[in-house]
Amino acid sequence: MPELPEVESLRRILARSATGRTIVSAAVREKRLRRALDDDVADAIAGRAILAIGRRAKYLLIELDRELVLLVHLGMSGSLTHRRAGFDPGPFDPRHDHVEFALDDGARLVYNDPRRFGLIKLIKKSELENAAELRGLGPEPLGGGFSSEYFWRATRGRKAAVKTLLMDQRIVAGVGNIYASEILFRAGVRPTRRAGRVTRAEAERIAAYTPAVLSEAIGGGGTTFRSYRDARGQPGRFAERLQVYDREGQPCIKCGAAIRGIVVGQRSSFYCPHCQK
DNA sequence: AAACATTCCTGCACGC
DNA sequence: TGCGTGCAGGAATGTT
């Protein structure tokens, strides 16, 4: 997964394929995800109509009738696939297909998550804003709330690496490890730079490249690094357009210098020592 | 066999 | 001293 572009790609596919459908039944095979699924989730979902599919940060929001919302997070290794009736159901994975929804058109939505860092939670629509998972999230990077002025202010006085802050969901919602490296490369800022030392011009570039990179990735259907698959079971195509991520030792596309791989805030990070200051 | 696309929690350091 | 905040580190887990 599953950073913002992957979840947004998933949202768009499900919006077309599942909106208006009714969930006739739900089966929970494994409820031990990041948090254990509530015991009554399957019963509460059965019979509910899917009104819309939304997204906040990396959370997918499946809006149901009766003012219910199913919150889905894919963690590190989760996927939610839509399998049409009568078509190849894809490789059935009994060990990791943890939750399955049957729709009234014969299709199925299958939640698969090997590492089980994901989350599925049913909440009332009125409690959405106050939900612990969504409360405190920063602005959506594609929603206009993530301005250069905002980011510049948010970084003042902060000693943590700028990449760490860019990935902090309270600062901006949806940027994860892959795109943080890509955004900082395009902005010409090293991931290790202390956030408080980012100049105003650099903050402007970061704030501008953040939505640009995410939008481009959405256009490519997201990034498949190892195992990510979209709702149709297809890998994302943005991996071919990654300029630094997982390219340690390979030449920078701008200057030819060898891309470096380092660890920042315990996450693998990549940058060009020549282009990024 | 070490690394991993995410989030949450703990504990320490620092500053007021 | 006490408290709040920031930050680092680790844990959760299965796969490649």
Q: Would you state the structure tokens that stand for residue A163, as one six-digit string?
A: 């990449």
- Residue A90's pLDDT is 65
Provide CB contacts within 8 A for A8, sequence distance 6+: A55, A218, A222
- Residue A227's pLDDT is 63
The structure tokens 């089980």 sit at A116
- Residue A60's pLDDT is 97
Given a contact cutoff of 8 angstroms between Cβ atoms, the answer to whether A198 and A158 are in contact is no
A267 a catalytic residue? yes
A254 a catalytic residue? no
pLDDT 10s digits, A30-86 = 999 999 999 999 999 999 999 999 999 999 999 999 999 999 999 999 999 999 988
**CA nearest to nucleotide C9 C1': residue:** A266
pLDDT 10s digits, A173-184 = 999 999 999 999
Residue A107 has pLDDT above 70, yes or no: yes
Residues 39-98 of A with CB under 7 A from strand B: 57-58, 73, 75-77
pLDDT 10s digits, A87-100 = 766 668 889 999 99
Which among A48, A58, A193, A247 is annotated as catalytic?
A: A58
- Residue A264's pLDDT is 95
- Residue A230's pLDDT is 77
Whether A135 sits with its Cβ under 7 A from any strand C atom: the answer reads no
A119-124/A108-112 β-pairing: unpaired
**C-alpha A179 chain-centroid distance:** 10
CA A251 – CA A273 distance, rounded (Å): 11
State mean pLDDT over A250-269: 96
Residues 225-254 of A with CB under 7 A from strand C: 226-227
Residues carrying CATH 3.20.190.10, chain A: 4-127
Residue A1 has pLDDT above 60, yes or no: no
Whether A117 sits with its Cβ under 7 A from any strand B atom: the answer reads yes
Cα–Cα–Cα angle for A122, A127, A128, nearest 5°? 70
Q: What global pTM score does this model have?
A: 0.95
C1' of C3 to CA of A40 (Å): 41
- Residue A64's pLDDT is 98
State mean pLDDT over A257-273: 96
What secondary structure, in 3-state letters, does A165-207 show?
A: HHCCCCCCCCCCHHHHHHHHHHHCCCCCCEHHHCCHHHHHHHH
- Residue A86's pLDDT is 80
Whether A159 sits with its Cβ under 7 A from any strand B atom: the answer reads no
CATH class for the domain made up of A4-127: alpha beta
Residues forming beta bridges with residue A271, ordered by sequence position: A260
Whether A176 sits with its Cβ under 7 A from any strand B atom: the answer reads yes
CATH number of the A148-271 domain: 1.10.8.50
- Residue A237's pLDDT is 83
